[in-house]
Amino acid sequence: MNIETALQKQFELSKTLNNNVNIAQNASHQLTLQLKKIKQENQDATLQSMSNNCQKNILSNNETKYKLNNYKTLKGHFDKVSSCAWYPDNQHLVTSSQDGYLLVWDAVKGLKNNLVELDDPYIMGCDVSYNGQLVATGGLDNTCIVYKLSTSIDSDDKNNNNNNNSTGLLSILRDHKEYISDLSFLHKSSTQLITSSGDKSCILWDTSKGGYIRHFYGHLGDVLSLSINKNDLNNSNPNLFVTSSSDKLSMLWDIRDPLASRKYLVNSKFDSSEIEFFPDGNCFTCGCDDGTIKMFDIRCDGELSTYTIDKVRKYITSNNLQNTIPTYNNYSNNNNDQNSTFDINQDQRSTSVRSLMSNMQASIDNPGVLSLDFSKSGRLMFTSYAESTSVFIWDTITGEIIGSLNGHNGIVSKVKVSSDGLGIATASRDETIKIWSV
């Protein structure tokens, strides 16, 4: 009887606590909406409203499309390419793939220069240190691994007779309880990096010590992406970084403080899945699972612009890019075989076409943002979406799409602009990486 009474009390206490938590969350959500409403009432302008003249000039010009050339197509991976990062020399590139390898490329020559076989092939992100000697990876094994990975496969090169050019394991950083979703070295740092995780936290690490410096807690959902402020000019703070989460919030952090400096409600219904600092360090953009991208200004603590998925749909329709939606035909091998006895009659073809169109429409209706990055000036924004093989080029001021990068046969999982702004790398699930330039 005593045990039953104790269990009953424990159940009632648990129920009371859950109710209190739900009440607190609802109150917090209502306060967040009120703050957002007050900010909107005080917002006297947006980027689009201030760029009316600029927008008219662009629309009156027939040459509205911004075109880039496919300079190189890098082939060598045997599975989906999940991430990529430029080396500081803006010539070499490191890529990670589910085939279990890190590859270092010479993006100018199109050659593979180095490789590392990974213990866990399911890598979510990779980044290169400021001195170009270290590459950090993180993925589904909850571990951040740092490699010494040079741009030369010959570690005994006569011009580089030091150990810094060798390839090997440097650090294994363990403290996350869930998968590592993203990571980045700090600005102008070759020893410290930050990781974000599905355990709702971020961690600042020191590779020279092989351990963590600080945890960052505050999100109520998986932290899906992070971005470091890499601009130390224009009075911006290089200690800042931003995160996006499945709790539909983005947060602004300072690496010296374990608590978030500011919180922004990105979307009331969909996860905030991708985030990137603007080149000047005063703004950042967040991409959501519904395909919406929003830009926030840290100085005014408010929203500057919204880049909607409707314009992507309009651009796809007007430029006949429906065929950029990836389709996986199980009968492709049979169709290519002239001696195959497998045939599809006309009715089946019609059904297949209708099914294909339905799948394409469903893909467009669920177009979450996968990756985004900016040109060096910030005027252009390059974005990739789930279920689309194109990378779309936005004019950040006018909020219009002015071009696209077409050519991949699979979803583009990562878009990365080189620090000098002259090259763009797009890593795709079609097992290739394309280098684009003017």
Name the residue with tokens 């909607």.
Answer: 308
Split into its structural domains, the chain has a count of 1
Say if 327 falls within a structural domain: no
d(CA 116, CA 146): 11
In a domain, 160, yes or no: yes
Q: Which domain holds residue 89?
A: 59-317+367-437
For residue 198, tell me if it sits in a domain. yes
Cα-based torsion angle of the residue sequence 184, 190, 192, 193 in order, rounded to the nearest 10 degrees: 10
What was the pLDDT predicted at 166? Answer: 58
- Asked whether residue 334 is domain-assigned, the answer is no
Whose tokens are 């583009």? That residue is 412
Residue 24 within any structural domain of the chain: no
**Quick check: is 339 in a domain?**
no
Is residue 322 included in any domain, yes or no?
no
Q: Is residue 126 part of a domain?
A: yes
Instruction: Say what the pLDDT of residue 268 is.
Output: 83
Per the CB < 8 A criterion, the answer to whether 180 and 158 are in contact is no
Please say whether the beta carbons of 285 and 372 come within 8 A: yes
Q: Which helix (H) or strand (E) holds 207?
A: none
Per-residue pLDDT of the chain (438 residues; tens, 9 = 90+): 578 887 888 888 888 888 888 888 788 778 877 877 777 777 777 777 777 767 554 444 444 467 789 999 999 999 999 999 999 999 999 999 999 999 999 999 999 999 999 988 889 999 999 999 999 999 999 999 999 988 775 444 434 444 444 578 889 999 999 999 999 999 989 999 999 999 999 999 999 888 999 999 999 899 999 999 988 776 678 899 999 999 999 999 999 999 999 999 898 889 999 999 999 999 999 999 999 999 999 988 888 999 999 999 889 888 887 555 554 333 233 333 333 333 434 454 454 444 444 444 444 445 699 999 999 999 999 999 987 899 999 999 999 999 999 999 999 999 999 999 999 999 999 999 999 987
pLDDT value at residue 156: 41
Write the CATH number for 81: 2.130.10.10
- The residues near 27 (Cβ < 8 Å, ≥ 6 apart) are none
